[in-house]
Amino acid sequence: MERLSTLDAEFLHLEDDGAPMHIAGACLFDGEAPTLDEIRLLIASKLHRIPRYRQRIERVPLELGRPLWVDDASFDLADHVREVEVPAPGDDRTLRRLMGTVMAQRLPRDRPLWDALLVTGLRGDGPTWALVFKVHHCMVDGIAGVQLLEALLDVSPDATVASPEPWEPKPEPGALDRVLDAWGGLVDDAGALAASAIGSVPALLRDPLGLPRSLGSMAGGLLQFARILPAPRPASIEGSVGRGRVWAHSSASLEDVRAVRRSFGGTVNDVVMAALSAGYRELLAAHGDDVEHLSVRSMVPVSVRRDDGQGVPDNRVSTLVCELAVHEVDPVARLECMKQRLAAAKASNMAEVGEAVTALGDVVLPAVVGSLSRLALRSEHLVPQRSINTVTTNVPGPQFPLYCLGRELVSYLPFVGISYGVRVSTAVLSYNGRLFFGVTGDRDTVPDVARIADRAAAEIAELAALARSE
């Protein structure tokens, strides 16, 4: 039996109608749109590569173990792959409204937790149709989500569609089997944790100071997390959220990012976070916030996926917390500030602490973890957290073209959700020489998140122009 990890299960515990926990992407294509039957046949031909897409969640009685993945005997591709023709004028604003509507809706828990939407009726100078993939966060993180997309699409425009491979669902385990397997898994997880600790003994003997240094690093990481607990000055992008969503997107050239790095130093992520700082500065100023004296903290998920996790559909992430440089007026000074702040966040060992807490969570009774998580969710309804203002994900995608039934994927526009206390979040994804921004906002309180997307792309172009003029 396949069990969810503690981190995977947490995305189930923390979801309700006001905070759907899925990630998504709008894939825009050139060429004539395929038919719905063609898309369904394509996906059916790939399902043997992604067995999770035919599995649903099954809970263990009395929450004596973490939920399981079981084959869905009633799986029907038609329940997951549908078509919608957008109304006139079929422009980008129409697509944005559609994304906001679709992403505000939770995925049903009684079937595999994903959907695909064939979007037709797009008009104008850009792409003519789209595929919107929506996957629950308990199934994948950003890296695994990109790997799933690569499994569904092709690297050649001439690829043929194979016949679907036969599939027979495995029998669903009974209640007693689920409990016994869950407790056996808990013992296995505890044993693996103990083996890891024992395995570190030889290294400790070779380097007796290694353990004190490691403990000191972990203590430093915990201290950094403790420092963010006090709430900063209130900002318009924090607080309660409704059920409506808005979404905006933009893109920038990766070559422009490279030009900025060559001239001013730093990493791709440094440039991205500096550009987003400019976007948040513009949005906050438009909402009347005092950007010169405001602290805007972004949670930044970081991948801890190693070689043994390649191709595995699950979550293997930890997190950093970093303040955005919204106080800086000058683009170059803003970039320098973000370089320093991100370097300090990486050196703080916060990511290592997060990974260690997740590993420990795998050996805690699931009923305890679930109860505490649901209590936290109910508390957020009453008093939303204020330690984190926003979330920023940055995922590297394939730097070569992908195709769907011979049509080239020209844009991959990412989506990440928001939750209580966080009214705005941003997903960033690179694909085939471009950087794509997707910004989600609470429809009632922050309807103008396009300010962030537009300003971030413009900031990168401005920095690149400065870099090339030197």
411 within a domain of the structure (yes/no): no
Q: What is the mean pLDDT of the segment spanning 45-71? A: 88
More confident residue, 59 or 233: 59
Is the domain of 324 the same as that of 431? yes
**Could you tell me which residue, 111 or 218, shows the higher pLDDT?**
111
Of 164, 198, 215, the domain-final residue: 164
Q: Is residue 216 part of a domain?
A: no
DSSP type of residue 399: S
Between CA 28 and CA 402 the distance in angstroms is 11
Q: Note the pLDDT of residue 360.
A: 56
End position of a domain, from candidates 164, 199, 214: 164
At residue 132, φ and ψ (nearest 5 deg) are -105, 115
Residues 424 and 311 in one domain: yes
CA dihedral over 47, 53, 58, 59, signed as positive or negative: positive
Per-residue pLDDT band for 2 (boundaries 50, 70, 90) equals confident
CA distance 343 to 346: 5
pLDDT higher than 80, residue 187: no
Computed over every residue of the chain, the mean pLDDT equals 84
Task: Note the pLDDT of residue 203.
Answer: 47
Q: How far is CA 359 from CA 66, 151, 222, 235, in A?
A: 14, 29, 16, 34
Q: Would you call 465 helix, strand, or coil by DSSP? A: helix
- Rounded Cα distance between 179 and 185, Å, is 10
Q: What pLDDT shows up at residue 319?
A: 79
Please state, in angstroms and rounded to a whole number, the distance separating the CA atoms of residues 194 and 203. Answer: 15
Together in a domain, 248 and 366: yes
Q: Is residue 88 in some structural domain?
A: yes
Mean pLDDT of 458-470: 94
- Give Cβ neighbours of residue 154 (< 8 Å, ≥ 6 apart): 402, 403, 404
Mean pLDDT of 4-9: 84
- What amino acid is encoded at 41 in this protein? L
Residue 51 has pLDDT above 50, yes or no: yes
Looking at the chain, the whole-number percentage of residues with pLDDT higher than 90 is 57
Q: Both 140 and 241 in a single domain?
A: no
| Stretch among 98-107, 112-121, 301-310, 454-463 having the lowest mean pLDDT | 301-310
**Closest Cα partner for 137 from 308, 42, 5?**
5
Residue 406 within any structural domain of the chain = no
Q: Is residue 200 part of a domain?
A: no
In this structure, are 246 and 377 located in the same domain? yes
What are the strands of the beta sheet with 297-303, ordered from one edge?
Answer: 245-253, 434-442, 424-431, 390-396, 297-303, 317-323
**pLDDT at 354 (0 to 100):** 58
List the domain range (segments joined by +) for residue 311: 223-397+417-469
For residues 270 and 144, membership in a common domain is answered with no
pLDDT of residue 182: 67
Using CA atoms, how far apart are residues 325 and 341, in angstroms rounded to an integer?
9
Token couple for 39: 């898309």
Over residues 195-219, the pLDDT tens digits come to: 544 544 454 445 454 445 444 454 5
182 compared with 440, residue with greater pLDDT: 440
Which pLDDT does position 317 carry in this prediction?
65
The mean-pLDDT minimum among 129-138, 198-207, 230-239, 328-337 falls in 198-207
Q: How far apart are CA 88 and CA 94, in angstroms?
A: 8
In this prediction, residue 387 carries a pLDDT of 80
CATH for 149: 3.30.559.10
d(CA 144, CA 311): 7
Beta bridge partners, 136, equal 22
Domain membership flag for residue 19: yes
Torsion sign, CA atoms 216, 207, 357, 269: positive
Q: Please check whether residue 173 lies inside any domain of the structure.
A: no
Count structural domains, the chain.
Answer: 2
For every residue of 395-433, DSSP letters joined together read: EE--SS--EETTEEEEEEEEEE--BTTB-EEEEEEEETT
Say yes or no: 378 and 261 in one domain: yes
Do 11 and 149 share a structural domain? yes
The kind and range of the H/E element at 26 are strand 22-29
Q: Are residues 157 and 227 in the same domain?
A: no
* 14 band by pLDDT with thresholds 50, 70 and 90: confident
Q: Which of 142, 164, 186 is the last residue of a domain?
A: 164
> What's residue 374's pLDDT?
65
Q: Which two tokens stand for residue 290?
A: 């005092």
Q: Tens digits of per-residue pLDDT, 279-294?
A: 999 999 999 999 999 9
* Residue 277 belongs to some domain of the structure: yes
| Domain CATH code at residue 361 | 3.30.559.30
**Residues 151 and 243 reside in one and the same domain:** no
Amino acid of residue 24: A
Do 281 and 389 fall within a single domain?
yes
User: Does residue 181 carry a pLDDT above 90?
Assistant: no
Question: Burial of 406 by CB count in 10 Å (0-12 exposed, 13-18 middle, 19+ buried)?
Answer: middle
- Please check whether residues 330 and 452 belong to one and the same domain: yes
Task: Tell me the whole-structure pTM to 2 decimals.
Answer: 0.85
What is the per-residue pLDDT for 356? 61
